[in-house]
A and B are shown apart, each in its own frame.
Chain A
């Protein structure tokens, strides 16, 4: 199964490798063809009446009749077996889906209870460890304060290097799953700290009504960060930076390849239709700046955290402004694409209800908490060794066609970059696998997305660059 894509969602409760679904489809088609051949054989068998055959036909005609009878018997026995095998495959996918959902639910429940207990005991733990905490934290703080500014900057600049060196552990699917669970348990830890009854926390949290969860936890982080000047949102300015003539993409790989990677963070393709109307495809890039204090770049951690908190981040407002500048209104048909933070923004824009969304394609986006109407086709791609999508916790609310793949299942984890499974390169590989898949949901989605720009007379592509303004 290494490197295989696993498909789930899209209105189905089955979860399995793309290969399993494809073989189930092949067996289904085989069954239909056998039934058809059987019906044809029955018709052929009646062409020459048996009595006539016995009276007037040569022995070879009778032998042909016997062959047909035997063939009918074999096919009539084989056809149900093809159907049974298909059923077995589908049931195993259903069973796997059920087990996976149950396991997810169970681990989430356990993590929530453990989180509450940990939160409940946290003050005592903190109190007992206070001397050590004060000592260590104080020492670190004093050390940092005494450190020359250049050395301090070098220390923080070394963080990506630390992440890069530890890529193997951070890209372990178990680490990713642990992070997902931790994220889902933050509200429970908070409930424990506040000594709220566990059942109340449970009822209001992710496992219950969902009033408190990843979004509210992120909002608290943004609130606390705001007090220190970190993660504080600012206005943004947007500039159009260039227009070219192109063609509509036909595949998911082409879409992934169109995500902006240069200075511009947004690309909008305008599809002119024969009747004079326009359709639009919006491409949103991923995080560009990982510092907590906002600089010029709106595609930063401030936007990440504010988006996760359900707010309109700088990058969200920048894309909305670029769309307004392009002439996109509430009625314009639009498809959103995005990688990482871009995927989160794409999903938020699609879920806002402000646009006539015709499709969403996200790659490695922490968008599991975003709700998009079920009639909007959404293909979400996640690598199981990519930490970033796990930061949004478990999927809730929406049911996209979810395509998962473990990038480093059969090769060593690359330590050349930070979060190697999150890079656009491996996501391009996965998009290519999706394009080559015969799995029904992926084929249907591919067709729907390809048809969106398929009838365009001209395609005009425009890049937009955004900057933060009025920084604190």
Chain B
């Protein structure tokens, strides 16, 4: 009997923790979006000429692509956490 109580209490703690994680991740999504907006518009810049300009633009664009993938991962984490919270809610009420 006591085992059942312990498992349930643990699951309540996990659910609460997942809810805190969800809240923190949602806040992180906003902050990360701000960071993404701060990526310089290198393609239209007139910094340098020729090859140096091409390399700079390529480097900034590659950075942008990587950060876009990180953004997707964070959003995916939010989505997975939300689903987990929902599952835990079904389990522990």
Interface, chain A (partner B; CB < 8 A) = 1, 4, 17, 19-20, 22-23, 26-27, 29-30, 33-34, 36-37, 40-41, 43-44, 47-48, 52-53, 55-58, 60-61, 63-65, 67-68, 70-71, 74-75, 77-78, 81-82, 85, 88-89, 92
- Name the contact of A17 in the complex, choosing from B25, B47, B74, B81 (C-beta under 8 A): B47
Q: Which of B17, B39, B67 contacts A26 (CB 8 A)?
A: B39
CB pair B18 A75 closer than 8 Å: no
**Given contacts A19-B45, A58-B88, is CB(A37)–CB(B32) below 8 Å?**
yes
Neighbouring B residues of A41 by C-beta, 8 Å: 28, 74
Give chain B's interface residue range (CB within 8 Å of chain A).
Answer: 35 or more
Closest to A93 in B: B47
B46: which of A19, A26, A43, A81 is its contact (CB, 8 Å)? A19
Q: A74-B70, A78-B70 are in contact. Are A37 and B80 (CB under 8 A)?
A: no
- B45 partner residues in chain A, CB cutoff 8 A: 19-20, 23
B59 touches A30 (CB 8 A): no
Query: Would B46 and A64 count as touching, CB distance under 8 A?
Result: no
Q: Which residues of B contact A58 (CB under 8 A)?
A: 83-84, 87-88
Main secondary structure of the interface of A (DSSP, over half): helix
Q: Which residue of A lies closest to B64 (CB)?
A: A78
- Please state if B47 and A44 are interface contacts (CB–CB under 8 Å): no
For window 48-66 of B, CB contacts with A under 8 Å fall at 48, 56, 59-60, 63, 66
Q: Could you tell me the distance between the alpha carbons of A81 and B40 in the complex, rounded to whole angstroms?
A: 13
Q: Is the CB of A40 within 8 A of B31?
A: yes
Residue numbers in A under 8 Å from B14 (CB-CB): 48, 52-53, 56-57, 61
Q: Is the CB of A63 within 8 A of B80?
A: yes
Q: Which residues of B contact A4 (CB under 8 A)?
A: 46
Q: Is the CB of B35 within 8 A of A33?
A: yes
For residue B65, give the distance in angstroms from its CB to the closest CB of chain A: 10
Do the beta carbons of B63 and A74 come within 8 Å of each other?
A: no
Give the interface of B toward A (CB within 8 A): 7, 10-11, 13-14, 17-18, 20-21, 24-25, 27-28, 31-32, 34-35, 38-40, 42, 45-48, 56, 59-60, 63, 66-67, 69-70, 73-74, 76-78, 80-81, 83-84, 87-88
Write the chain B residue with the least CB distance to A75: B70
Contact of A61 among B18, B31, B56, B59 (CB under 8 A): B18
- The CA-CA distance from A275 to B69 in the complex, in Å, is 57
Nearest 10 pairs between A and B by C-beta? A64-B80, A61-B84, A67-B77, A33-B35, A71-B73, A60-B83, A74-B70, A58-B87, A23-B40, A60-B84
> What are 27 of the A-B contact pairs (CB < 8 Å)?
A17-B46, A20-B47, A23-B42, A23-B45, A33-B34, A34-B35, A40-B31, A47-B18, A47-B20, A48-B18, A52-B13, A53-B14, A56-B7, A57-B18, A58-B87, A60-B81, A61-B14, A61-B84, A67-B80, A68-B73, A68-B74, A70-B73, A71-B70, A71-B77, A78-B63, A85-B59, A85-B60
Q: Cβ of A56 and Cβ of B35 under 8 Å apart?
A: no
The answer for the CA separation of A53 and B11 in the assembled complex, in Å, is 10
Could you say which residues of chain A place their CB within 8 Å of the CB of B27?
A: 40
Closest to B91 in A: A58
Looking at the assembled complex, report how far the CB atom of A207 sits from the nearest CB atom of chain B, in whole angstroms. Answer: 32
A67, B87: Cα distance in complex, Å: 18
B81: min CB distance to chain A, Å: 4
* Complex contacts, B10 vs chain A, CB 8 Å: 52, 55-56
A58 to B10, CA, bound (A): 13
- The CA-CA distance from A27 to B39 in the complex, in Å, is 7
Are the C-beta atoms of A44 and B25 separated by less than 8 Å? yes
**A55 surroundings in chain B (CB, below 8 A):** 10
Q: Assuming A19-B45, A60-B80, A89-B47, is B88 touching A47 (CB within 8 A)?
A: no
> Which chain A positions have C-beta within 8 A of B56?
85, 88-89
- Closest chain B CB from A77 CB (angstroms): 7
Query: B77–A27 contact, CB under 8 A?
Result: no
- Which of A67, A75, A81 is close to B76, meaning CB atoms less than 8 Å apart? A67
Query: Which B residues are CB-close (under 8 A) to A36?
Result: 31
User: Roughly how many angstroms separate A57 CA and B10 CA in the complex, as a whole number?
Assistant: 10
